[in-house]
Amino acid sequence: MSSLSITHYFPFPRIRIIRQRISSGARKAYLKAVPDKRFQPICHICGKKATGIHSQEKRWVRDLDFGQARTWILCHYRKIVCPHCQKIPIEELDLFDPYMRVTKRLACYI
């Protein structure tokens, strides 16, 4: 396996890519992303900082192709407790919109 990293092509500021794997034949690229704990979670509804974590979830999200490889990101995200809008939304990661299965940049490309 190559020691080259493709994580530099995923400049999302609120997440960290912690693992990458390219399938044999380079047809699929798999990445694992987690929230960057240096940032306090932000509510995707009101845009204010949240005070607590309700639960943690994960979802496969499709991203732009990397060359000929289809790219999938296993994104871990947190549901938060927002005291401002009184809801339990997911945190804003600038990667995907709530309930979407594709990244924002793939949605713009399509």
Q: Which region holds residue 86: left if phi is over 0, alpha if psi is between -120 and 50, else beta?
A: left
The answer to whether residue 31 is domain-embedded is yes
Q: What are the tens digits of pLDDT across the range 36-82?
A: 888 899 999 999 999 889 999 999 999 998 888 899 999 999 999 99
Counted domains in the chain:
1
Owner of token pair 């509804």:
45
C-alpha 16/C-alpha 6 separation (Å) is 13
The answer to whether residue 2 is domain-embedded is no
C-alpha 6/C-alpha 44 separation (Å) is 28
* Full domain range(s) for residue 49: 7-109
The answer to whether residue 56 is domain-embedded is yes
Residue 102's pLDDT band, with cuts at 50, 70 and 90, is very high
Q: What are the tens digits of pLDDT across the range 11-30?
A: 788 889 999 988 878 899 99
The answer to whether residue 1 is domain-embedded is no
The answer to whether residue 53 is domain-embedded is yes
Residue type, 104: K
